[in-house]
Amino acid sequence: MDTWGIDGEAYIAAVRAGAIDPHGYSAAELQAQLDDCEREWSERLALVPDEQLDDLIAGRIELPTLPEEPEHPNAARLRADEQFVRRMQALEAQSARIEGERRALMAEHVQRVVELPGDAGPAVKELATMAAVELRLTQGGVMGRMTDAWNIVTELPAAHEAAESGRITIAHLRIIEQQTRALRLDARVDDEEKGRVIDELVELAERVSTSRLRAGAKQLIDEVLTEPLQQRHDAARAKRRVEVFDAGDGMADLVLHGPALEIHAAHDRLTQAARKKAKDDPRTYDQFRADALLELMLAGLIPDDHHGVSPITAHVAITIPATELLHGDHQEPALHDLRFPAVLDGKVLVDRDTARRIAGDTATWERLFTDPTTGVPVTADTYRPLEAQRRWLRARDGRCRGPGCAKPVYRTDLDHTTDFAKGGTTSIGNLGHLCRADHGLKHDTRWRLEQLPGGVLRWTSPIGQVIDDRVEPAGPVFKDVAPRALDSGASREPIPF
């Protein structure tokens, strides 16, 4: 840093205070680099004989360099990889900070206009139009950005601050904003509870990928909404529809908005058909699915009622807690308050009526035991040992175990963490589900994978990043609570044993 005419200590102090290093280094890493630089200068100075010190000070000779071995190509590649990752990290943080400043600016002036006398709507539109003219954007687009910014800053201040400081990305912020809309509109949830949920989502966003944040947010928010999932599903189901949108170039989009279970099942049925296509068929899975759906709609037979029979059966993984089947109209309040809804592929909440309907149509049940402390699956009923491993691991993993991946388990394959050919055993402690992409990441790249106790998959990148993918709870998690103190005047009954 000093060689660039920058005061190293002052620069590090600025980064420690919140400035972003353009190369993505933290204050501690910059301090270590500065210490290494000073150590190198001391070693180089020690190589100068005493009789040449005056010449060195006068600038007649240069400080000798330390002997260095040629850099190995692999080391050079790792250094370039690390520079790329750090630069991307720094640019993302800078983008988040700039976007945060823009969001705060728009929210400030929307609030200023809202507080003016008269109707705020036309005033906000007027202000948005002035900005749109200068930016050569549409008035509606700018107005939408301004209102979104105002909503985030005023209703999600913790998420706004986390994004502005670079702790979460703009993509994480958008998910928090989208997933909390129902919560923020629920007037029966108090502000303190809303703030707690938002704080938990921000903390989650700092640790996980966007896909896992979206899945976790659904469960967390459903626990506090006062309107039960069944009522929300019934209202949403009434809006099911099919729409057509022109996409240009002679193409169009056919959009079906309907119940999640049936939509996922229909997509799985199309995927199964695509997997059975001839090897010489040049179409991709996406192309085949599109062709198969159009063929079914245009030339297929439509059954007289909705009980049509097909030789292709969709495979959908749905976890239904026993509490969902026990709930009734005249149930104990304590049990009714135990809200842990059925989950489709570990991501989509399923209403109780659909869960009961699926339960009634299911011929074979697999009982799943979960750890009452952690909620992690422990075992499942079965007969054959090898099938038991598969069933147990499907229940344990629930999704792809790759870094940040959230693909459902049915779109993955079991993988030996330590290759079988290299002495790895076919055991629960050496197996995990990986999608095709992450299977290739493990076998075709320099990433390393090991499995730790408790089913934790530890991924290590070529530049030393460590990502621990932990098993997520599949059932309710029970926590110890402090015993309620007895009133001093209350009589104490003897323990009956």
Are both 59 and 116 inside the same structural domain?
A: no
The residue from 155, 173, 190 where one domain ends is: 155
- The structural domain count of the chain equals 5
Classify 255 as helix, strand or coil: strand
Tokens of 116: 């003016």
What pTM was computed for the model?
Answer: 0.60
CB-based contact 11:26 (threshold 8 Å): no
CB-based contact 324:342 (threshold 8 Å): yes
Which residue from 423, 342, 426 is spatially nearest to 387, judged by alpha carbons? 426
Mean pLDDT of the chain: 79
Read out DSSP for 431-468? EEEE-HHHHHHHHHSS-EEEEEGGGEEEEE-TT--EEE
Are both 147 and 73 inside the same structural domain?
A: yes
Are both 209 and 172 inside the same structural domain?
A: yes
Read out DSSP for 130-194? HHHHHHT--HHHHHHHHHHHHHHHHH-HHHHHHHHTTSS-HHHHHHHHHHTHHHHH-TTS-HHHH
- Kindly compute the dihedral angle of the four CA atoms of residues 106, 182, 209, 157, in this order, to the nearest 10 degrees: 40
Are both 391 and 457 inside the same structural domain?
A: yes
The residue from 115, 133, 155 where one domain ends is: 155
Q: How far apart are CA 221 and CA 349, in angstroms?
A: 11
Q: Which residues contact 263 (CB under 8 A, 6 or more apart)?
A: 256
Residue 235 domain-assigned (yes or no)? no
Return the number of other C-beta atoms located less than 10 Å from residue 321's C-beta.
Answer: 20
Residue 284 domain-assigned (yes or no)? yes
Helix axes 260-275, 285-299, angle to 10 degrees: 110
Residue 232 domain-assigned (yes or no)? no
Residue 194 domain-assigned (yes or no)? yes
CB-based contact 449:424 (threshold 8 Å): no
Are both 84 and 161 inside the same structural domain?
A: no
Are both 370 and 465 inside the same structural domain?
A: yes
Are both 7 and 83 inside the same structural domain?
A: no
Q: How far apart are CA 11 and CA 6, in angstroms?
A: 7
- pLDDT, tens only, 294-314: 888 887 644 343 333 344 455
Return the number of other C-beta atoms located less than 10 Å from residue 300's C-beta.
Answer: 11
Are both 376 and 445 inside the same structural domain?
A: yes
Residue 475 domain-assigned (yes or no)? no
- Between the alpha carbon of residue 285 and those of residues 267, 275, 276, 369, the distances in Å are 11, 8, 10, 36
Are both 62 and 77 inside the same structural domain?
A: no
Q: How far apart are CA 123 and CA 114, in angstroms?
A: 8
What is the residue range of 373's domain? 366-469
Residue 309 domain-assigned (yes or no)? no
Q: How far apart are CA 374 and CA 476, in angstroms?
A: 8
- pLDDT, tens only, 426-481: 888 889 999 988 888 898 888 899 999 989 999 998 888 888 999 877 666 666 65
Are both 81 and 38 inside the same structural domain?
A: no
Tokens of 463: 């530049």
DSSP 408: B
The residue from 198, 227, 256 where one domain ends is: 227
Q: How far apart are CA 346 and CA 474, in angstroms?
A: 8
Q: How far apart are CA 390 and CA 387, in angstroms?
A: 5
Which residue from 484, 491, 457, 346 is spatially nearest to 408, judged by alpha carbons? 346
Residue 446 domain-assigned (yes or no)? yes
Are both 114 and 54 inside the same structural domain?
A: no
Residue 474 confidence (pLDDT): 66
Residue 218 domain-assigned (yes or no)? yes
Residue 362 confidence (pLDDT): 60
Cβ neighbourhood burial of 359 (10 Å; 0-12, 13-18, 19+): middle
Nearest 5°: CA angle at 268, between 430 and 283?
100
Q: How far apart are CA 291 and CA 283, in angstroms?
A: 10
CB-based contact 23:83 (threshold 8 Å): yes
User: Which H helix or E strand runs over 95?
Assistant: helix 73-114
CB-based contact 449:459 (threshold 8 Å): yes
Residue 343 confidence (pLDDT): 64
Residue 352 confidence (pLDDT): 67
Q: Which residues of the chain have pLDDT under 70?
A: 1-6, 24, 300-350, 352, 355-388, 474-497
The partner residues of 244 in beta bridges, in order of sequence, read 254
Are both 448 and 370 inside the same structural domain?
A: yes
Residue 495 confidence (pLDDT): 39
Burial 149-175 (b: 16+ CB within 10 A, else e): bbebbebbeebbebbbebbbbeebbeb
